[in-house]
Structure 1
């Protein structure tokens, strides 16, 4: 059995009046002031609830913004995710680690144990914010970053939500870093994705998209089986040096064989060719399709195997278990938590068999 790793303890103090204000309307994004103590060092922070439907869960997720001192772990904003619906608590981190291991940009993450005003709030996943510091911490060129905030971030001229022509091609996106000219460029890219002729697509799309990195991201979505990952749950980064876009995954708790409610998702539920317009057009190219096929075959034989992932899963489970017993929202479901490593490993076996069958049909 893997040895337990001690989780950092985050102690958050929110004045009772501010805590009342925060809880009064969970759908308001306005932050309140708080004090955060980590390893004996105090930080003055702003704290707000984060997420959409997850705000309604008993265990809240938070966005933390630092203002004195202004940075922690080379970031001035980070997220504390409750992972409330994931019975393993591990899927988000397991996914981001997997994306990083196959060579795709993804947030760094680590588990922490959170106390609020002296009371245990439980196990949380600290997530790196995808912003200008995310780029700087990796030595990447500056560039625009868009968040895909709903299903209309589908690279199509048609809305995924109301099935009509979009009134604006920026719909579905929120500009995190950049200016109006970056939004204009995004508009033009989406137009060209949908209007470049089939004959010219292969040679012209590479002026917009880093296809090698796009295929890495696509493979990551397919292996982890994030059903929403094609039209949501990502950030779009345009490298100002190369001028090309690449995709960064986000919110990957509904993966590894479970859906957004933590219920079983069949291992063959998500097809390997994805769902959005850009993916369909890229895989329509025999050159890119063969490249994708080779990539899937490489990953399924290396990073996506029980032998490779089992030690990581068991080590993660062992490090979390003592803290799950202290988590007021999770301690009563410890038996289910203990079954999750085998559940995830069984998913890996079944998904592997599915992908090996399907990849032969990509010719």
Structure 2
């Protein structure tokens, strides 16, 4: 390894009885007690599987909560990233959102061992919760996770094309009180019922439109098809009453879909999806602002020149560990090919978006 920063290692110790219970029912969300050893210190934890379809994979992903603070956080998510043969896309995306001015979870790659058996390279994701706000010295507020396709900012469910049971369907509250569901429901109601002539002046009382347009630019650039109706969190600042959107789980990006298959660089249109996006881009002043934000990003952060050093540094750091990962070491050739694949995607996607900027 050539002067690359070492990937930190976590060793998790689980009573064999509890480990069997965990493995016997992969769909159970009940955690089991364990210990996490890091830099010669032990931390008492609760551990459970996380995700939906990814629970079927041999390399599992985990949700860990700490009984006391661990490096300034109370919980983390360890993602196996098994369908992304580069192991880079999620972190690359979350860092990209931070670079373009969005709130975004911190992430880092780690090595995971459970009861002495090496599990491979994982991506540690920061939880979007009270600690997330505290670490950034942000105002108190509520946080909702968009958990399914009902989080589409519409009154209709895309699942059955019928009216939703509630305006806040599709979300789970991570932080706040029952009262905060009223604010979320009111947001969805206003998005869908405010007249076209009143929308521009009304929506700014509910959502930070500049932050939303920056988030939209990030989703459109990285081409996260699922990111418009889930894979995000909503944070409402108590001091302003405005919602802003935070990205989450962005492995199906940079030219690949959720199954790791190639996604055409022009699959997602420059105008994106979902009801809120359509309504915001229906307003000329917001469209102009979006064009300016996206144009600046296409000239700076969403370029091969900007991303290549980041990508190659991560790739070179991870490669020695990928060679030992029992689940992905056989795909080392694919791992080595992925940076060039991503560079090609950035070039083609950048050209496509610039070509369509004037049509927004």
Give TM-score, length-normalised by structure 2: 0.99
Determine the structure 1 residue equivalent to 2:8: 8
State how far apart, in whole Å, the 1-side matches of 2:165 and 2:34 are: 40
Determine the structure 1 residue equivalent to 2:90: 92
Determine the structure 2 residue equivalent to 1:27: 27
Determine the structure 2 residue equivalent to 1:335: 333
Question: How much has 1:297 moved relative to structure 2?
Answer: 0.6
Does the Cα contact within 8 Å between 2:312 and 2:339 map onto a contact in 1?
Answer: yes
Following superposition of structure 1 onto structure 2, how do residues 125-204 of structure 1 map, counting pairs within 5 Å?
125-204=123-202
State how far apart, in whole Å, the 2-side matches of 1:149 and 1:186 are: 14
Determine the structure 2 residue equivalent to 1:49: 49
Residue deviations 1:70-116 (CA, integer Å, cap 9, x gap): 01111010111100100101100000000000010000000000011
Determine the structure 2 residue equivalent to 1:238: 236
Question: How much has 1:4 moved relative to structure 2?
Answer: 2.0
Aligned residues: 360
State how far apart, in whole Å, the 1-side matches of 2:97 and 2:290 are: 15
Determine the structure 1 residue equivalent to 2:323: 325
Flag structure 1 segments of 5+ consecutive residues without an equivalent. Answer: none
Question: How much has 1:3 moved relative to structure 2?
Answer: 3.9
2:76 to 75, 78, 83: 78
State yes or no: 1:290 paired with 2:288. Answer: yes
Does the Cα contact within 8 Å between 1:2 and 1:314 map onto a contact in 2?
Answer: no
1:275 to 273, 276, 294: 273
Does the Cα contact within 8 Å between 1:3 and 1:318 map onto a contact in 2?
Answer: no
Determine the structure 1 residue equivalent to 2:251: 253
Does the Cα contact within 8 Å between 1:153 and 1:171 map onto a contact in 2?
Answer: yes
2:222 to 221, 224, 229: 224
State yes or no: 1:37 paired with 2:37. Answer: yes
Question: How much has 1:154 moved relative to structure 2?
Answer: 0.4
State how far apart, in whole Å, the 1-side matches of 2:334 and 2:4 are: 19
Does the Cα contact within 8 Å between 2:168 and 2:188 map onto a contact in 1?
Answer: no
Determine the structure 1 residue equivalent to 2:66: 66
Question: How much has 1:2 moved relative to structure 2?
Answer: 7.4
Give TM-score, length-normalised by structure 1: 0.98
Does the Cα contact within 8 Å between 1:104 and 1:213 map onto a contact in 2?
Answer: yes
Residue deviations 1:305-338 (CA, integer Å, cap 9, x gap): 1111111100000000000011000100000000
Does the Cα contact within 8 Å between 1:147 and 1:175 map onto a contact in 2?
Answer: yes
CA RMSD of aligned residues (A): 0.9
4+ aligned runs moved over 3 Å, structure 1: none
Following superposition of structure 1 onto structure 2, how do residues 111-126 of structure 1 map, counting pairs within 5 Å?
111-126=109-124
Does the Cα contact within 8 Å between 2:84 and 2:251 map onto a contact in 1?
Answer: yes
Residue deviations 1:220-261 (CA, integer Å, cap 9, x gap): 100110000000100000010110000000010000000000
Residue deviations 1:177-231 (CA, integer Å, cap 9, x gap): 1111110111111111101010010000000000010001000100110000000
Question: How much has 1:127 moved relative to structure 2?
Answer: 0.6
Determine the structure 2 residue equivalent to 1:316: 314
State how far apart, in whole Å, the 1-side matches of 2:45 and 2:208 are: 37
Does the Cα contact within 8 Å between 1:109 and 1:125 map onto a contact in 2?
Answer: yes
